[in-house]
A and B are shown apart, each in its own frame.
Chain A
Amino acid sequence: MNKSKTGILILLSGILLLPVCSNQVSADDQAKTGTSTGSKVELVISRWAGPHADDQAAVLKQFENETGIRVRMDAIDYFQLRQKQTLNLSGKTGAYDLVWAQEVWLPEYVSAGYLLPLDDFVKDVSLSGKDFDLPDFNPNLIKINTINGKLYALPTFVQTPLMVYNKELLKKAGLQPPKTWEETLAVAKALHDKGKGIALPAKQGLAAVDIWIAMARSNNGNYFNQEGKLQLVTEPNIETVQFWKDLVTVAMKGSTNWHFDEVNKALQFAEAPIGLSISGLCGALEDEQQSKVAGKLGYAALPYKIRPFGTLSFWSWGVAADSRHPKEAYRLAAWLTSKSIEKQMSLKDGQIAARQSLYSDPELVAKAPWLPGVAEALQNADTQPLHKNAPKLMDAMAAALSAVAVNGEDPKEQLEQVQKTLAADFE
Chain B
Amino acid sequence: MKHPKNLDFKKWLVNLLKIIALALFLLWTIGPILLVILTSLKNQKDIFTVPPTFIFRLTLDNYSRALVAGDFARYFVNSAFVALVSSLLSVGLGTFCAYALVSLRVRFASLIAQLFLLGKLVPAITMLLPLFALLNMVGLLGTFVGPILAHTAINLPFVIWLIMGFIRDLPEDLEAAALVDGCTAMQAFWKIVVPLVLPGLAASMILSAQFSWNELVFALQLTNLDTYTLPVGISKFVGSISVDWGKSSAAATLTMVPMIIIGCFIQKYIAKGTTGGAVKG
- Interface residue ranges, A against B (CB under 8 Å): 1-2, 4-5, 8, 12, 15-16, 18-20, 22-23, 26-27, 44, 48-51, 54, 72, 74-80, 83-84, 87, 91, 93, 95, 259-261, 264-265, 268-269, 271, 278, 280-281, 284, 289-292
Contact = CB atoms under 8 A, between A and B. Distances in A.
B184 A1 contact: yes
Given A19-B148, A50-B239, 19 more contacts: A1-B186, A1-B190, A2-B186, A12-B89, A12-B93, A19-B143, A20-B145, A23-B139, A50-B236, A76-B235, A77-B216, A91-B133, A93-B136, A260-B242, A261-B239, A261-B242, A278-B241, A280-B242, A281-B242
A48 B242 CA distance: 12
Nearest to A50: B239
Contacts of A16: 89
A20 B242 contact: no
A56 B140 CA distance: 30
A308 B142 CA distance: 48
B132 interface: yes
B140 A23 contact: yes
Interface in B60-86: 69, 85
Contact of A78 (B49, B190, B221, B239): B239
Contacts of B244: 50-51
Contact of A5 (B145, B186, B236, B241): B186
Given A15-B89, A26-B226, A261-B243, A76 B143 contact: no
Contacts of B92: 8, 12
Given A12-B88, A54-B69, A95-B141, A290 B241 contact: no
14 contacts: A1-B184, A15-B88, A22-B143, A22-B144, A23-B145, A49-B236, A76-B236, A78-B239, A260-B242, A261-B243, A268-B48, A269-B49, A269-B50, A284-B242
A259 B241 contact: yes
A80 B145 CA distance: 20
Contact of B221 (A4, A19, A83, A284): A83
Contacts of A280: 241-242
B240 interface: yes
A66 to B, nearest CB: 23
B225 A44 contact: yes
A16 B144 CA distance: 10
Contacts of B184: 1-2
B190 A261 contact: no
Contacts of B148: 19
Interface string B224-242: 1111000010011111111
Nearest to B137: A91
Nearest to A266: B48
A49 B235 CA distance: 9
A87 B225 contact: no
B50 A271 contact: yes
Contacts of A2: 184, 186
Interface in B139-182: 139-145, 148
B240 A48 contact: yes
A284 B239 CA distance: 13
A396 to B, nearest CB: 21
Residue among B140, B224, B226 facing the most chain A CB atoms (10 A cut-off): B224
Contacts, number: 126
A23 B223 CA distance: 11
Contacts of A264: 241-242
A19 B138 CA distance: 13
Given A19-B145, A50-B244, A269-B48, A87 B221 contact: yes
A91 B132 contact: yes
Contacts of B44: 289-290
A284 to B, nearest CB: 7
A93 B222 CA distance: 11
Q: Which 7 A-B pairs have the closest CB atoms?
A: A78-B240, A77-B235, A49-B236, A23-B143, A290-B44, A19-B144, A50-B239
B129 interface: yes
B142 A95 contact: yes
A204 to B, nearest CB: 16
A264 B242 CA distance: 9
A417 B238 CA distance: 35
B141 A292 contact: no
A269 B45 CA distance: 8
A95 B226 CA distance: 12
A84 B222 CA distance: 9
Given A49-B237, A91-B136, A281-B242, A84 B144 contact: no
B267 interface: no
B203 interface: no
Contacts of B240: 48, 50, 78-79
Contacts of A77: 216, 220, 232, 235-236, 238
Contacts of B140: 19-20, 23
A280 to B, nearest CB: 6
Nearest to A44: B225
B13 interface: no
